[in-house]
Amino acid sequence: MSNDLRYDGRVVVITGAGNGLGRSHALLFGARGAKVVVNDLGGGAHGGGKSSAAADKVVDEIRSAGGEAVANYDSVEDGDKIVQTALDHFGRIDVLINNAGILRDASFAKMTDEDWDLIYRVHLRGSYKVSHAAWPHMRAAGYGRIIMTTSSAGIYGNFGQANYSAMKLALLGLGNTLSHEGRAKNVNVNTIAPIAGSRLTETVMPADVVAALKPEFVSPLVAWLAHEDCSETGGLFEVGAGFMGKLRWERTLGHNFRGRSFSPEDVAAKWEKITDFAEANHPANVNESFGPIMAEMGKPGKGG
Ligand code: NAD
C-alpha cells in the first residue's frame, strides 16, 4: 500500500491560484485526489484588470491530469462567493489556502492612499473575507485547515513595502487568533512566508534566481499543513528553494523593576540586560508572555 498523503473527498479552495504559488498548490492538491476550487481574478500584478483565462488554464491542467477542479473568478474581497462556489459544486469546504496577492511598492514618502488601501483590500480584507465565509462551515463540520500567506517583508520589514509588510504581518495576527479559536473544532490555522520565482518577484530578482526558486518547492509544506494527519496549528514557517523552517518569538530575560517607581535613567542603566539575548525565553501565547511577569509582581526587589 502506498503511503502517499491523499486528499480524496476533501474540498480545497485556493485563492489566486491562476499563477505562481497558488497554481503550484492547486496542481499538487488536484493530483492527490482533492476537489479544487481554483480562484483567480485574473488581474495584473499591481491590481488592475480582470480575466477568466488564468483560473481556466489551471482548471484545464488539473482536469487533463485526471483531477477534479472548478474555476471561480471573484475577487477575494467577495470571499462569500468563492466559498459558495465550493459549496455549490462540491457541497463542503475542508481546506482554504489564502494566497491571492498583488504588489504596490513605493517608498513610504511616495506611497499614496490608493497604494495603501488596495494592498489592505486584497491581502488583509481578502483573507479575512474568505476565511470568515469558510469558518462556520469548518466549525460545523468539526474539521478545517487554513493557511495564511505572509512574507519575510512583513516579518522583518523591507524598503519600499510599508503597505505590503503591514498587511502581511496582520495576516499572522489573524492566523494566530484563528488557531486559538479553531482548536476545539479541529480547525488548524498556520502561516507560511514563502519565497518563489513568480511574476511578483521576477522584476526584483535576477532571472537565474527566479528560475531556481520554484513554486513547487513551497507547495509540499502547504499540502502537509493542510492534511488531516498534521496537527500543527498556530505555526509560522519560512519556506523556499528547498528550505523550510519554523519561526517563533524570542524574548530576553529582561529586567523587572517589580512595581517600584523607576525613571528613564533606570531604564537606560539596565539597557544592556533588557536587550541581552544571551539568556532568553520563547513565549508561545499570551499566558506564557505575561504570566511570569504577573507572578513577579509584589515580590521584593533584588536591589539595583
Ligand atoms: P502571482 O502574481 O504569481 O500570483 C498571485 C495571483 O493572485 C495572481 O494570479 C493574481 O491574479 C491573483 N490575485 C490578485 N488579486 C486577486 C484578487 N483580488 N482576488 C483573487 N485573485 C487575485 O504571485 P505569487 O508570487 O505566486 O504570490 C502568491 C502569494 O505569495 C501572494 O500573497 C504573495 O504576496 C505571497 N508571497 C510571495 C512571495 C514570492 O517570493 N513569490 C514572497 C512572499 C509572499
Q: Torsion-angle region of residue 228: left (phi > 0), alpha (psi -120 to 50) or beta? A: alpha
Quote the pLDDT of residue 182. 98
CA of 302 to the centre of ligand 1 (A): 53
Which of 39, 40, 168, 214, when mutated, tests ligand 1's pocket best, judged by the most ligand atoms within 8 Å of its CB?
40
- From the list 222, 102, 239, 75, the residue with the least C-alpha distance to 163 is 102
- Distance, CA of 170 to CA of 159 (rounded, Å): 18
Asked about 120 being catalytic, the answer comes back as no
For 124-128, the CB contacts below 8 A with 24+ separation are 124/167, 124/170, 124/171, 124/174, 125/77, 126/15, 126/75, 126/76, 126/77, 126/79, 126/98, 126/100, 127/15, 127/76, 127/98, 127/171, 127/174, 128/79, 128/174
> What CA–CA distance (Å, rounded) separates 4 from 286?
37
Confidence label for 302 from pLDDT (cuts 50, 70 and 90):
low
Q: Return the pLDDT at 301.
A: 57
Q: What distance in angstroms lies between residue 289's CA and the mean position of ligand 1's atoms?
A: 33
265 CA from centroid of ligand 1 (Å): 48
CA atoms within 13 A on the CB side of 141: 18
Q: Atom 17 (ligand 1): residue with closest C-alpha?
A: 75
Give the ipTM. 0.99
Q: Which atom of ligand 1 is nearest to the CA of 164?
A: 34
| Rounded CA separation 107/122 (Å) | 20
List the residue whose alpha carbon is closest to atom 33 of ligand 1: 101
Pocket around ligand 1 at a 6 A CB cut-off: 15-16, 18-22, 39-43, 45, 54, 75-76, 99-102, 122, 126, 149, 151, 194-196, 198-201
Ligand 1 atom closest to residue 168's alpha carbon, by position in its atom list? 34
pLDDT band at 3 (very low <50, low <70, confident <90, very high): confident
CA–CA dist 102, 112 (Å, integer): 16
Q: Is the Cβ–Cβ distance between 251 and 282 less than 8 Å?
A: yes
Residue nearest to atom 32 of ligand 1 (CA): 101
164 Cα to the center of ligand 1, angstroms: 12
Q: Provide the β-strand partners of residue 145.
A: 95, 188
Q: Could you report the per-residue pLDDT of 138-190, keeping only the tens digit for each? A: 999 999 999 999 999 999 999 999 999 999 999 999 999 999 999 999 999 99
Q: Model confidence over 13-45: pLDDT tens digits?
A: 999 999 999 999 999 999 999 999 999 999 888
Q: Output the CA 30–ligand 1 centroid distance in Å.
A: 19
* 241: its cell numbers: 528553494
- Give the length of the chain: 304
What pLDDT score does 201 carry?
Answer: 85
Average pLDDT of the chain? Answer: 95
Residue having the nearest C-alpha atom to atom 19 of ligand 1: 75
13, 73, 99, best to mutate for ligand 1 pocket (most atoms within 8 Å of CB): 99
